[in-house]
Chains A and B, each alone.
Chain A
């Protein structure tokens, strides 16, 4: 038999995708190993990120050279990341469902093409431009008018009352993230709405339901798993978002948000903003601790993505 050169070269190039994913994890584990040993597991749920006295002499703790007083705990990052992403997903889901219905069923077919393009373009806007928009338009607007108004009106609800802050914070980040993920959710939903067999819709219509009721009682329950899958996928996207969050989150350090207006920081934004100061550490432990954050973030997003893809695969959605 002839040696299948072409087939082999195809396989070789195609295998670069999984190899690069595995290499990412391996490199991160190797590089952050000293930090993992030094920080152990309380890294995740203690709340003090302190590079220590950078002008002192390195001391040896547990066999590792660190700066005196250096401690690494990222509980505030875990809280900030999860809170902003989950809040963003909760805000995005109803709007995305509404927009998907509007674009696929609510208007004439000849209009839905150009209007969907509009939503697709929104998905393509670079994240740093979202950040700029948040910084220049949303932060002043939210900080001066909307947050004080919300805090006053809903002063009886916990987490919504309290100090309205400066505009940088959890709710602003969640809002920007929501605007970023709505197009993603609604694009997938639109496709799967169109994949539903028309007989189901017709059956509903023939029973006297109007189109919205068909959507609510027949299409949405049918798409339950797709909804969950897409939601988790969008959550994964929001968890890893860097630039937009970096510019509107307020970059809190060692601070747990007391209400939804409080400044936060997320893992991705923290990695981007802290590397410069971590490089000041002559023992390199700070850079390795940052790489441990990157590892934690990578593992979380990989887990989230795997579960979302599994759900979507079972539903035959790309």
Chain B
């Protein structure tokens, strides 16, 4: 390796390759206070190895990088269980209002009533959509919400002196975050198989439920895109054994306005605001993973949550205090009169992060809920489900559907459309057609899975074009398989060698220098 002196051949140079001594990319004000010498007691830094690049070069560098990406703004992005819907721009405008973006989290409550009001109203909106008694907005992502929820389940049992419960059951179709969250909360994860229709196997569930079960984590609709047909029975079995049911809300987009999860026995659930409520994924985050709970888990919520205080607020719950009041009752019952305050639940599991959650994401989600309203959100579920079924219908002629019943917002087919062709080949070839591939090789219970979620924001024409591409790829798979094996052909780089990356990890600048030898 040390002898390899070849220059790195990246499409775009590294930012430090654009560096020239003496350049700056930003101006900093001159000092208007006297000079104070740096302390002698603390060792100073001798070298600060940061690049020196002009503003224009920085702008061009990152702009060029951005153009190497597929994104919702540029391509259909049908990743299953990721809900890559359009992210309305007004949400970003709302989050960047200086009253929000320049609000400090530790302001006295009197000086941040706007933030607290927004948090309160978002809590209320999520409660009303889900049927839960209370919501904490603190978790920063779905998995963070899972950890929070499972810690609450733990606190609930321990608080009752019930110390035997060490196991949490998880269907085999679940996301990997579920078992990982269970481990982080100190429980043992135990897999429950699915039956032939893709539901939780009830016989096995009954066998496994006893006084050592702390709970069940269930995703509904599940990762096959199927609604759990026996959901009420499932939750009843767990409850009878003294356990609680955690709902993974990753797929809540399918249920908006059609089901309140609390109604079918879910005790605690996280919402993925970056999926269901349209906030941008940002190339990996930030998301937001608020958790909703039924009344018996409310005392364990992470603090703080926001409460409305005072007589005025007692009459006007949440929404009535805001927009709805202005529309229906006139300005005399205006939110300006209510006061919001931070509240620490009595038996709280504690904080799961500093401050109140990913506030900027919460503002975006709230703006979305406000604009969509009750009718709009129900229409979201309807069109997400209609789109998925229509797309399934279009490609089902050529792609095998392992669990063939009406799906919800997503569905799973298999990518082995011709001998010697694998799902990854189909996925990479889709890139050549200008579509981001669906989720691949997940859920684990389907071999060669392609998991497709089109979302409600794609038009019929886009769905048809996507289906057309998939059908054409199926033809190519039979007639010229190498076209698929060697795909993608038109992306900035071809298929990348993941084995090499993992065997000799190069994870930062210094490690590239080591490889480049003399450079």
A binds B: no
Instruction: List residues of A whose CB falls within 8 A of some B CB.
Output: none
